[in-house]
Amino acid sequence: MNTTPLPTIAIIGGGPAGLMAAEKLVAMGDAVTVYDRMPTVGRKFLMAGRGGLNITHSEPLDRFISRYDAASAWLRPVIEAFPPTALREWCKSLGLETFVGSSGRIFPKGLKASPLLRAWLRRLNAAGVKFAPRHTWKGWDENGSLLFTDAEGRTLSIHPDATILALGGASWPRLGSDGSWVEILRAQNIGVAPLRPANCGFIAPWSDVFSTRFAGQPLKPVTIFFDGQKRQGEAMITREGLEGGVIYSLCPALRDAIDATGEAVLTLDLRPGLSAEALAVRLQMPRGRQSASTYLRKSAGLSPMALGLMRESLGSAALPTDPATLVDLIKNTKIKLTATAPLARAISSAGGVVRDEIDTHFMLKKKPGTFVIGEMLDWEAPTGGYLLQASFSMAVAAAEGLGEYLKNRS
């Protein structure tokens, strides 16, 4: 009878990356415990699925990988090893079929995250994964043991054979990922880029009249230009500014411009389905005794919100009456953004452990036996399934790398 104890693995963070790593490692024969500071795991995962769990995307793999921009090169082999097709098969193995939506995004047929998470946790429990909720990670002691405080405030010292850190970024901290790990790693001389909002809204200096009237209303359809990029889709007016898919897709460029100059100026085409020439013809119609708003609504098909945006771009100036100037304003309305919305309200975060601090297996070079995955690393991706796919793929790669580490150590 083999009495050799199983390798012990501590996974800190019970989000998708941590749970996927746990599944792979327990299947390798390791004794796995998932530690999380919240009472239950997967809280942000559940929140992400409230409006429909977009788990990955169906576009061709090369195009898919290009969405990660600066991180594409090092993420390519990771995603190729566990691509969207593999993630769909994994969902199927849990009893959840997936489908491709009209936008190419992939969802479980029930749309919600909760059935998937319940099935997943049943599998993990049956496989022997242990869970330690309400355990807050505090770093390492002088002997290299992991330090935690539990729900009663007691300090616990644990010395596993290897560790995976999957603590997330710093968006939606009330769901578990609060970024408190940043200073712990910096104290170990591990390079961590500042955490910043990603896939976030932006602040615009709306007038009280505009924000009161239009906050919460969708701006569609709209075409937005910024820094040589063109985006078509839908945005949402908020009391403080703008958010929504078309804004999220421009987030890195907008954020960098604001960091550099204090502002980012968007150009909005408020009638994207109508050419400037066709619009000019419409604006030759006699105005008669109509107000400017009524005239533009009837002749140019502008909504009250579009008219409000035109007025916001002009500040205190009146709407022009000259048709050519009006056409230019409608097709090129300028909106100034002055800041990102708070990190706590962002969908995800950029920044984190810099790439040079980990090897190709996601192990920290300065902390052998400790692996880092998911949003803790310095990368970002647009919405559309890219965030979850990369987190799952990193977890699979790190689990395999951890297995090699233990094999080489023995």
- Condensed to tens digits (0 to 9), the pLDDT of residues 314-332 reads 987 788 888 888 889 999 9
Q: Which of 246, 218, 244 is nearest to 230 (CA)?
A: 246
Provide the greatest CA pair distance for the chain.
97
* 33 and 66 together in one domain: yes
Range of the domain at 243: 202-340
* pLDDT at residue 127 tops 70: yes
* 52 and 178 together in one domain: yes
Boundary (domain end) residue, out of 301, 318, 340: 340
The answer to whether residue 262 is domain-embedded is yes
- At 355, list the tokens: 């790439």
* pLDDT in the model for residue 410: 65
Summarised one tens digit per residue, pLDDT across range 362-408 is 999 999 999 999 999 999 998 889 999 999 999 999 999 999 999 88
Summarised one tens digit per residue, pLDDT across range 23-80 is 999 999 999 999 999 999 988 888 876 768 899 999 999 999 999 999 999 999 999 9
* 132 and 13 together in one domain: yes
- At 327, list the tokens: 């056409």
* 89 and 145 together in one domain: yes
* pLDDT at residue 142 tops 50: yes
CB atoms within 10 A of CB 396: 22
* pLDDT at residue 137 tops 50: yes
Say which range, 164-168, 253-257, 298-302, 385-389, has the weakest mean pLDDT. Answer: 298-302
* 293 and 363 together in one domain: no
Q: Which of 99, 108, 168 is nearest to 137 (CA)?
A: 168
* 292 and 184 together in one domain: no
Domain count along the chain? 2
Indicate yes or no: pTM above 0.95.
no
Boundary (domain end) residue, out of 340, 359, 394: 340
Q: How many residues does the chain have?
A: 410
* pLDDT in the model for residue 3: 52
Mean residue pLDDT across the chain: 91
* pLDDT in the model for residue 1: 42
Summarised one tens digit per residue, pLDDT across range 233-270 is 889 999 999 999 899 989 999 999 999 999 999 999 99
* 164 and 61 together in one domain: yes
Contacts of 93 (CB under 8 A, 6+ apart): none
* 146 and 25 together in one domain: yes
CB atoms within 10 A of CB 141: 12
* 174 and 286 together in one domain: no
* 29 and 137 together in one domain: yes
DSSP summary character for residue 358? B
For residue 408, count CB atoms less than 10 angstroms from its CB and return exposed for 0-12, middle for 13-18, buried for 19 or more. exposed
CATH number at residue 152: 3.50.50.60
* 354 and 336 together in one domain: no
Boundary (domain end) residue, out of 294, 323, 340: 340
